[in-house]
Amino acid sequence: MSATLAGTLAILLFALPLAGCLGNALLGERLGRRFVNIVGPGVVLGGFVCAVIALVALLGAHEDARSTTVHLWTWFDLGPGALRVGVDITLDPLSVLMCLVITGVGFLIHWYAVGYMEHDESPWRFFSYMNLFIFSMLLLVLSADMVILIIGWALVALSSYLLIGYYYDRPSAVLAARKAFVTQVIGDVALVIAAFMIVTNLSVRSLNLPTIFHYAGASFPHGGALVTGICVLLAIGAFAKSAQFPLHTWLPDAMEGPTPVSALIHAATMVTAGVYLIARFHTLFDLAPIAQGLVACVGIGTAVMAGIIALSQIDIKRVIAYSTMSQIGLMIFAVGIGAYSAGMFHFATHAVFKALLFMAAGNVIHALHDEQDIRLMGGLGLTMRTTERCFLAGSLALAGIPIWAGFFSKEELLGLGFNHGPAAPILYFVGVGINVLTGLYTFRLFFTVFRGEPKTARTYAAHEAPPTMLVPVGILAVLSTVIGWALLFGIPGVVGPFILGSFLDPVFTADGGRLLTEPGHLTALLTVLLGTAGSLVGSGLAYEWWYQHRPDAQVIAGKVPRVLTQLSLHKFYFDEIYDAILVRPVRTLARRLRDVVEPEYADGWVEAVGRATAWMSDTFRVLQTGRLRDYATGMLVAAGAFVVVLAVLVR
């Protein structure tokens, strides 16, 4: 791709959502709802067109010439020996794939939001924040300089903060927003320090990513402590963004935001930025096997934990949120073992079906007038046929049932885990367990919400969502059904088989990276069969328990060790633990500083000087009689004494 085209596309990709953000914020209220409804999704659609053009241009280029880096302008330059930052952008298969998903799925969600936010009193605010998010996300994925990447990284957190706290008169939303933001900042700081380590130890002035990757292999010995440290810090940044253990607690609370936000930010795009980050820095991670192992273990661990928690949640959005956390855990696992293309594949399919699930759940919530408790739902399939079918498509994809999207991407990354990664193949078997869990919680949700008997009067009154909210959901449902096999086996006459892998792999083989060896045919077949069996078992059990009610789910729960159910119900007590070991000690210490140290020590000695002065003046005040005679006498006596002393001294 020519530099001019790449530059133009990048600037358009930045400018369109930014213009939408500013236009909605400044003019939205004056020009009204219709303007907002057109501009909000419109600019994202424009971005999608740009992304498609970029994709076409990339496909037209030779496989090894698909990475274009363009220097737009110099952001900051402190001269010799000091920092230099350029606004550089990279268009390569990885960033273009991200752009496609961000703008494509993003557009559908914006479109959906037009219907969802119909009765909101300030849609301009909503769409302004949403456009800001798209802009930040594009900045994050297109940037070829780490400082600019960090800016995008933080702006993403900002728009997430604004949107979680969108209903600002709900104290729970306000708290959730603050929690999310502070957690993100912890990740930001980790990322910033990683950047310092890179720029200081690589003897480069700038944090230009191609430069870093170019010199990394020569400067950092394989498995060295330094590169491991850098990668661990990068991973902490990724964990904060992608809601991985131990920085995951903000994601479920983030469901306080409007549902399209949950779909766009907290399922499809932002939370997968951590996966992108690790894939982008694959050159460094390839040099640090220990960090890779850590990432893989954290990913799979989070996936298990989130799956267990999802089983007992009663809020429809929180169930999906924990499933998101679990699925991202799998992606993190994939990039942790070095299966970058597989991780990105799962990212793409997950974006589609998870956005679908959230939006379908949004339809349900909308129809029930903001009811989110699944215990009060049931039988919605009777009144909301289309939504039910779409949700089913999403559930099948999520559970990994063959031919739906999740099956292909999940089995691919799990299959690679059989031969690679720490303690292979143990983590693979854990992955099969996750498949069982996924099937269980996915269909528990589906059956509880859409099947069975309606439980409240509101359920009978529920009506199907309007077309603006159904069409995007329908499109995503179709995509979740076809995208997996289309990308894997190709569409005859249009694209060849394994298109995504061959498209992405050159990115990861650049700068000396090596692809994982594919498992042999027999192993591949066996792992796929075993994984699928896991998914089917989970889904089947869910069918037995929550559809057939045979035996009662309560009885099952009674048989599970009490520890496990309690852990699941209380989300492994993370909120309580963090409150006890972080939040409360800091606050107690701060109060102690305010009430004791500040007045008694820091200010104490200042006040003491003041008091001493006052005491001295009180003491010497007796000399101040106010009688002129006394003063004059004093002066004379002193002068005489002075003369005498002088006379003595001179002699």
Contact residues for another protein (CB under 8 A)? 25, 74-83, 147, 150-151, 153-155, 158, 165, 168-169, 171, 174, 177-178, 181-182, 185-186, 188-189, 192-193, 196-197, 199-200, 586-587, 589-591, 593-594, 598, 601-603, 606, 609-610, 624-629, 632-633, 636
Q: Please give the Cα distance from 179 to 598 (Å, whole number).
A: 28
DSSP tally for the chain: helices H, then strands E: 27, 2
| Largest pairwise CA distance in the chain | 121
Rg (alpha carbons) of the chain, rounded to whole number: 31
User: Which has the closest alpha carbon to 258: 167, 333, 390, 169?
Assistant: 167
> Would you list the DSSP string of 131-166?
HHHHHHHHHHHHB-BHHHHHHHHHHHHHHHHHHHTS
Q: Which is nearer to another protein, 555 or 622 (CB)?
A: 622
Q: Between 73 and 369, whose beta carbon lies closer to another protein?
A: 73
Q: Which is nearer to another protein, 128 or 323 (CB)?
A: 128
The minimum distance between CB 628 and another protein, in angstroms, equals 5
Question: Residue 125: what residue type?
Answer: R
- 219 vs 565, which CB is nearer to another protein? 219
E strand or H helix that includes residue 58 = helix 3-60
Structure tokens at 578: 């963090």
Pairing type for strands 68-77 and 84-91 reads antiparallel
* Closest distance to another protein from the beta carbon of 30 (Å): 13
Dig out the tokens for 351 from the structure: 């974006």
For the CB of residue 159, give the shortest distance to another protein in the complex, in Å.
Answer: 11
d(CA 82, CA 242): 32
Closer of 195 and 255 to another protein (Cβ) = 195
Select 85 or 380, whichever has its Cβ closest to another protein: 85
Q: Is 214 exposed, middle or buried (0-12, 13-18, 19+ CB in 10 A)?
A: middle
What count of Cα atoms within 13 Å lies in the side-chain half-sphere of residue 130?
36
Cα 539-544-546 angle, rounded to 5 deg: 85
In the bound state with another protein, the residue whose beta carbon lies nearer, of 518 and 603, is 603
CA distance 316 to 463: 18
Cα–Cα distance for residue pair 406/393, rounded to 1 Å:
10
Q: Whole-number minimum distance, CB 21 to another protein, in Å? A: 13
Cβ nearer to another protein, comparing 145 with 388: 145
Q: Which lies closer to another protein via its Cβ, residue 78 or residue 525? A: 78
Please name every residue paired with 84 in a beta bridge, in sequence order, or none if there are none. Answer: 77, 206
Element containing residue 68 per DSSP (H, E): strand 68-77
What minimum distance in Å lies between the beta carbon of 136 and another protein?
9
User: One-letter amino acid identity for 327?
Assistant: Q
Least separation in angstroms between CB 621 and another protein: 8
What is the smallest separation between the CB atom of 185 and another protein, expressed in angstroms? 4
Report the nearest approach of another protein to the CB of residue 469 (Å). 28
- Toward another protein, which CB reaches closer, 632 or 645? 632
Q: Which is nearer to another protein, 509 or 633 (CB)?
A: 633
CA distance 328 to 299: 7
Cα–Cα distance for residue pair 381/364, rounded to 1 Å = 10
The rounded distance, in Å, linking the Cα atoms of 176 and 432 is 33
Select 124 or 441, whichever has its Cβ closest to another protein.
124
Structure tokens at 104: 């494509």
Peptide bond between residue 519 and the one before it cis (omega within 30 degrees of 0): no
**β strands within 198-316, DSSP E:** none
Distance separating alpha carbons of residues 27 and 124, to the nearest angstrom? 8
Task: Tokens 């509101």: give the residue.
Answer: 458
